[in-house]
Amino acid sequence: MPVDTLGQRFLLHYRRALQVFLHLLLWSVALTGAFLLRFEFSLPDEYFPNLYLWLAVMLLVRSVSFAGFGMFSGMWRYTGAKDLVALVKATTVSSLIFLTFIWLAGHRGFPRSILFIEWMLAMVSVGGMRFGVRTLWQLAASVTRDEKQTERKRLLIVGAGNAGEHLLREMHRVYANRYLPVAFADDDRKKVGQSIHGVPIAGTLQNVPDIVRAKRVDEIIIAIPSATGRDMRRIIDLCKPGGTSIRTMPGIDQLIDGKVNISQLRSVDIEDLLGREPVTLDQRALAAALEGRVVMVTGAGGSIGSELCRQICRFKPSQLLLVERSENALFEVHRELSARFPGIALNPCIADIGDRRRMEQIFERHRPAMVLHAAAHKHVPMMELNPAEAVKNNVQGTRCLADLAATFGVERFVMISTDKAVNPTSVMGASKRLAEIYIQAISQRTRTIFTAVRFGNVLGSAGSVLPIFKEQIAAGGPVLVTHPEMRRYFMTIPEASQLVLQAGTMGRGGEIFVLDMGEPVKIVDLARDLITLSGLKPDKDIEIRFSGVRPGEKLFEELSTQDEAADKTLHPKIFIGRLAPRAYDAVTSCLDGLAAAADSGASGAALVEKMRELVPELQREAAFSDAAAQEEQRAEVIPLRRQA
């Protein structure tokens, strides 16, 4: 076995003992040195009888104090600011204990200045030893890095803030043999010319192309997790001329544990260009609603449902019920959450929300305090072809859950709705509007607080436009867009999920909350951006082809109508629309007839007519109208009122 390997194994095996021995040695030198300095290297004879006792007591209290602060368990090569703080605390506490001993033992002749001198020497010697080991380790690592200089990727980090500094430290400590950070770029001109851990801040974002050429940069990393979509567009536009690959880190709203590391770096995606300001949450209200409570999430394996589960786990519920009828989706979300949140009690429940007997068993056994209902059929074309299933799942499934929530005394019930429920033109939109109507109706006769939260499309959800576009680009095109004027509202999955949780804590019963979706985005522009981010040119490398509006689709989705009052709440991104609730008996009578029609195999046209009894605004012909007609319809939609 090589000698260096034997030496390393010896040091690792006896590391703790060696650490204690070195500390004892340095403390002995510190106390002895303090006396010598105090008396100018001529120690009076009167101190010799007690010197050994004082040394023994000092070594004992120092050892106990350092062990209590965990100073013997760390690896010195990773010594940092936290270790320095712990060193100050451990040394100060042990000095105070020693002073107490001197006082109680009656050693009035002990020079008080010795304590301060010894404290300083102990700090300098022990701290110097630890940081010295770290420095030597880094020097040794740098020699190894120099030997592999040509193999490492040269990086430019955009963003000389906390996130950029954290990534740089991790690169130096863990990935030194793979990455070579050569420069920073930052929008703050005051930082230009300074350096972080030896890496210069070489210029502003406008200087990026020049920095890339001068420093021979292989890759650009955007280390600004708080960047908005507009910021990201500007950064990408400035960095692209450099011709290098660009990676970024997740946004703040996606950092569940608040930590950033190299493994989270990824290519810039369309979500980054459309993302908006991080969501600010009322942590106290969320903790009151979730911490120590039993929470149920239906559709837990879906895009929104699974993200709701991740966000809920942050608030440490006593139990999280994962209700999902897809076995594979439930397996995946349960496996992920179990690994990510080992302290949370997870209960995966394979169940169909329309199966009343099964759902009743779950409610009776676990007694959830809060239900977040995300299970639904959501694809408009599929529900046009299978209207009875939209009724069974979206309407009757919601009704079943709401009835059980009221029966078993659930405190809060939050239903995920959609912008397609406003002036619906599709079976799917009408089914979600019917679910909203029932939620409002039952809210009038129960203590359970029922609310609905309405928002538009979420970026990257299963079956949404982005994954489909990516598949088409990977296949070489064409990218199929239904209509050149087709527009949609978009949110990121974490943003939508966080706002759903927040809205769920704000309800008093019967509200339909509307999330601020920002400005609608043209789908064709989305396609062009995605093609560009893939390193290709729209209409040259990848063709964009228009396929025509599908049955049930609108050109422009809506979030509020003239019949709704969409007013500002205490949260800047959550609005509240109050539609007058319908009479419970009238609603249940209509829904009974609709359910019977769906179960009997009635035609789609017959089901639509039944739906119109409660949703008279259902406009089937709008799905096939031309762009001008829909533009006129869109103009009638009142914007969310932002006054208080």
Catalytic site positions:
420
Say which amino acid occupies 5: T
Q: Give the Cα separation of 626 and 136 in Å (integer).
A: 73
Cis status, amide bond into 278, omega within 30 of 0: no
CA nearest to 76, candidates 125, 127, 21: 127
Say which amino acid occupies 21: F
The Cβ of residue 393 has, within 10 Å, a number of other Cβ atoms equal to 22
Say which amino acid occupies 116: F
Q: Give the Cα separation of 462 and 468 in Å (integer).
A: 9
Q: Give the Cα separation of 122 and 445 in Å (integer).
A: 72
> Token match 């629309």: residue?
577
Pairing of strands 479-481, 544-546: parallel
- Work out the angle at residue 395's Cα, subtended by the Cα atoms of residues 393 and 400, and round it to the nearest 5 degrees: 80
Could you tell me the two tokens for 168?
């740089």
3-state SS class at 486: coil
3-state SS class at 157: strand
Q: Give the Cα separation of 369 and 312 in Å (integer).
A: 13
Q: By the 8 A CB rule, do 394 and 376 touch?
A: yes
Provide the β-strand partners of residue 297.
322, 372
CA count, 13 A, side-chain hemisphere, 52: 2
Q: How many helices (H) and strands (E) does the chain have?
A: 23, 22
Could you tell me the two tokens for 121?
């020497």
Q: Give the Cα separation of 83 and 69 in Å (integer).
A: 10
Q: Give the Cα separation of 419 and 303 in Å (integer).
A: 17
Q: Give the Cα separation of 247 and 300 in Å (integer).
A: 30
Q: Give the Cα separation of 412 and 320 in Å (integer).
A: 15
- Work out the angle at residue 332's Cα, subtended by the Cα atoms of residues 331 and 334, and round it to the nearest 5 degrees: 65
Q: By the 8 A CB rule, do 560 and 638 touch?
A: yes
DSSP state at residue 542: B
Dihedrals phi, psi of 414, to nearest 5 degrees: -120, 120
